[in-house]
A = this chain, B = another copy of it.
Amino acid sequence: MLDSAVRTHKKQPLYEEVAQRICHLIEQGTLRPGERVPSIRSLSKQMQVSINTVKEAYGQLEDRQLIEARPQSGYYVRVRFPELPAEPEINPPVLHHPSEINLPDIYQRVMRDLLDPELLQLGIATPNYMLLPVEKLNRMLARETRRFARQSVAYELPPGNLRLRQQIARRLLLSGCTLSPDQIVITSGCVEAVALSLRTLCQRGDTVVIETPFYFNFLQLIEELGLKALEIPSSPRGGISLEALEYALERNAEKVSACLVISNFNNPLGSSLAETDKQRLVELLEHFKVPLIEDDIYGDLSFANDRPGVAKAFDKTGNVLLCSSFSKTLAPGYRVGWIAAGRFQDRIERGKMLAGVATASPPQQAIAEFLANGGYEYHLRSIRRSYARQVALMQDAIGRFFPEGTRVSRPQGGFILWVELPGMIDSLLLYEQAKALRIGIAPGQLFSIKGKFHHCIRLSATLWDPAVEEAIKSLGQLAQRQLELQK
């Protein structure tokens, strides 16, 4: 037996021997960041040591941050911290007054490129189609429209398909919300839910409070609606700064008609508000009588086994409008999202009716059936693992290939990375150079109303293969060259 043999010849504890072996496999690259290490049971069998010995070894490797446990899923090789770049530090910008938005004309150009199928798209936040349950969904679409044929061609007038709303209400328990189906309105995706909310709450010239950096489509929407934006700094770990928010509201409360926050695995920072901060956010906005529009579109993509709660869970007065969709987890093209609109329910239903009468019926029927009988939770577990792994691998590659001083975010869900480049690197130039190599990235300038974050880029880790690794390497080289030319 290895146990006694090792104990006799070497003076180190047996678990240390086991740990060293795994450590060696990681250093060699046999076990790569994000990959699963052998299960305790199988390693115990393979190395002929006791289960407890392996457990102790893994515990030690965990302490050394080489591997990490994921509940009900086993142990995984952590991204190698010594090589992983530091996290970005968003310097809280000086608080501006609310600003009218005049977004730079790079938007049109970049938007077109983000959709160019000729580019390897690392800049767009659409899910990896290989990870979507395409056949199953389309089968359910066919079956449900056959089963409820007349309903499929008829309007599902607001609030929308009842069975779907029941399923969503049931799932909302996991987010900490007890809501009934009639407190939910089905929308054409999360973007429509947010757009309806802004249109319902704000009039041209009003101010909306947002985080910075922030999802560029929402910035454009705010511009389109003629609203002013008040940007509150957000940190890559904890999300929007509540101190800065309170400071701003104390000085602007009368003019602010909504606050729009992506509460979990934020786009682009990947940050999430802690549960206590969610509660504080809700109380703060309630105090200032400013409705909260909460976007939770990435909430189901937590790398942990349980999804995080939402701010809406702390809403006692109906002041929170919670928006989400199935575009990141099931089918963006089905355009099925929803909003739990609190005390604005009637107005949102009316707004939905006037904006286009209803959401298409067949996709609602199919997604209701998928939630009821399609194994949505099982599907989520599978894609969460994939995205966790891909995010880890991309972080690792950035660490290896990008210039020293690069920083990268540490999202605990979703598939988006925020990368802060060192020196005076111009991400718009980097974007142009990358495009020449047929690589698409999202330059940081898109993510604020003043074109800030010009040294940052957003990358999507929706897939990982040698071509993506090669693209990350190329991006790193381009950034390095920019740095050298500046010397």
Contact = CB atoms under 8 A, between A and B. Distances in A.
Interface of A: 111, 115, 126, 129, 132, 134-135, 137-138, 141-142, 145-146, 149-157, 187-189, 191-192, 195, 203-204, 217, 220-221, 224, 226, 330-336, 350-351, 353-363
Q: Which 6 pairs, one residue from A and one from B, show the smallest C-beta to C-beta distance?
A: A142-B142, A192-B356, A333-B361, A153-B331, A188-B356, A335-B360
Contact of A360 (B132, B195, B354, B363): B363
Given A154-B333, A155-B332, A220 B360 contact: no
Given A195-B356, A221-B354, A335-B359, 6 more contacts: A129-B154, A141-B145, A191-B357, A333-B361, A360-B362, A362-B362
Contacts of A203: 204, 226
A206 to B, nearest CB: 11
B333 A356 contact: no
Nearest to A145: B138
Contacts of A361: 333-335
A196 to B, nearest CB: 9
A360 B157 CA distance: 16
A234 to B, nearest CB: 22
B335 A357 contact: yes
A355 B217 CA distance: 10
Q: How many copies does the complex hold?
A: 2
Contacts of A363: 360, 362-363
A262 to B, nearest CB: 16
A221 B153 CA distance: 24
Q: Report whether over half of chain A's contact residues are helix, strand or loop; otherwise say mixed.
A: helix
Contact of A153 (B145, B154, B333): B333
Given A192-B355, A195-B355, A361-B333, A134 B149 contact: yes
Contacts of A153: 129, 132, 134, 137-138, 330-334
A149 B138 contact: yes
A334 B362 contact: yes
A371 to B, nearest CB: 16
Given A141-B145, A354-B221, A152 B126 contact: no
A135 B361 CA distance: 15
Nearest to A223: B354
A333 B152 CA distance: 6
Contacts of A217: 353-354, 357
A134 B155 contact: no
A363 to B, nearest CB: 5
A191 B188 CA distance: 14
Nearest to A132: B153
Given A134-B149, A135-B149, A149-B138, A333 B354 contact: no
A365 to B, nearest CB: 10
Nearest to A193: B356
A151 B129 CA distance: 10
Given A138-B146, A141-B142, A189 B157 contact: no
13 contacts: A126-B154, A129-B150, A129-B153, A138-B149, A142-B145, A153-B332, A189-B358, A191-B356, A191-B357, A224-B351, A335-B356, A360-B362, A362-B363
Contacts of A157: 115
Nearest to A351: B224
A305 to B, nearest CB: 25
Given A204-B203, A335-B356, A356-B195, A362 B141 contact: yes
